[in-house]
Amino acid sequence: MSTRTASVHLSAAGRRRVMGALFVSRGAIAVAYLAGFTVLSIVGERLSGQVALAGIPPALIMVGRAIGPLPISRAMDALGRRPAIAGAYTVGAGGAVIAAASIAAGSYPWLLVGAVLLGVARAAADLSRYAAAEIYPAEQRGRAIGLIVFAAVAGSVGGPLLVIAATDRAAQAGLEENSGPWFAAAMILAFAALVVWLFVRPDPRDAAVSDERPAQTAQTAQTADAPLDLRGVLTMRTVQVGVLAMIVSQAVMTTIMVVAPLHLHINAHEVGVVSLAMTVHVTGMFALAPLTGRLVDGLGPRPVILGGAVLLVAASVLATLDAGLGTMMPALFLLGYGWNACFVAGSTLLARGVPAGIRARLQGRVETLTAVVGALSGAASGPLLAVGGGMGWVGVAGLAAALVLLAALRWR
């Protein structure tokens, strides 16, 4: 199976510039996303007048994340990575303005529109890791993906700080205070779009480094003149493992993570303790991503996915014990890092050995599938918590999914 050779040479300095721009813009999006998301259910309840409708705007962000990858990935192939990503960030900035204006005007329907558009921008931010990876040789793509994933740590620090500062500034200006984070998010999204447009040059699509030894199997070996076929690529064992790793890790992580704060709250833990537990989880998800990328490049994606699956099993077992903070803290950290290992290594498999002409479309479809699985897993976690009267059945569900991944890794 052939891969397209780069039409533009990218120097080492140019590679650092492109990588730096994608890193900065990804961190900026993380800050903007978390700032808007933090106040979304609050304003959803206020504008709708019903607690039952408070969760609709956050859910529509997830819808935007699910539908965004398909058109964005097509634009990446047709127009290039730079205009597609910058354009999606601009759409997100427009969505943030719409949301901020709807909060100020008291319009619930327009808030929903803004939420969907912010989700689209978040989808582009997630896809940007692949743009970073393709400007590096195959053996360095794991660390490139790891660095872009690590950039999301900025959101856990900058997001809450931005909410505090922006709400105060909006109140001082005589605006509805919760519109402040959304106006700030709009400016940050516009900044991210500008950074990508100005500094992601040449386009990673045109400067992509070809794989020296494209991954092939007896099933999918094709001649260099054969047409690029997305369906054929999906029969590749490496692609299948990468897709499964990302889907299963997302299912396990979402199932347990979504209800963990509620479980701790029900068991009389203060808000500060719940926040600390989630900080531990987010640290596992993002902070060690550069290390994960190096492990992927050094050991190969498969052993890292195997290690991640083992961590997901351990986290699920700890969750089933339902023994309070003593087990939930380590469970949430292992859950976060198990997801990180599978996510970075799985993404690397989708960035290696896949023809450049269909690479973005494959990645976009997997992003959509992963988002849908995450949404369904999150929706199922509440009933599991209620039926089990605790984390027992939630942990069992996560354990079952993680064992599926382990079984798949043993089958060649």
The full set of domains in the chain, from first to last, is 12-199 (1.20.1250.20), 230-410 (1.20.1250.20)
pLDDT score, position 404: 92
Asked if pLDDT for residue 223 goes beyond 50, the answer is no
pLDDT at 52 over 80: no
Which of these, 172, 152, 174, 196, lies nearest to 32 by C-alpha position?
A: 152
Confidence bin at 253 (pLDDT 50/70/90): very high
| Secondary structure (DSSP) of 68-115 | SHHHHHHHHHHT-HHHHHHHHHHHHHHHHHHHHHHHHHT-HHHHHHHH
Higher-confidence residue: 8 or 170? 170
Q: Torsion over CA of 157, 13, 125 and 148, rounded to 10 degrees?
A: -50
- 3-class SS of residue 201: coil
Output 50 or 96, whichever has higher pLDDT. Answer: 96
> Kindly report the CA angle at 101 between 69 and 67, in degrees rounded to 5?
10
pLDDT score at 227: 46
How many Å is the Cα radius of gyration of the chain? 21
Residues in the chain: 412
pLDDT at 192 over 80: yes
Q: Ranked by mean pLDDT, which of 42-56, 80-94, 393-407 comes out on top?
A: 80-94
Please give the single-letter amino acid code of residue 111. Answer: L
CA atoms in the 13 A half-sphere facing the CB of 32: 36
Neighbours of 161 (CB within 10 A): 11
- pLDDT of amino acid 100: 94
User: Tell me, what's the pLDDT at 125?
Assistant: 96
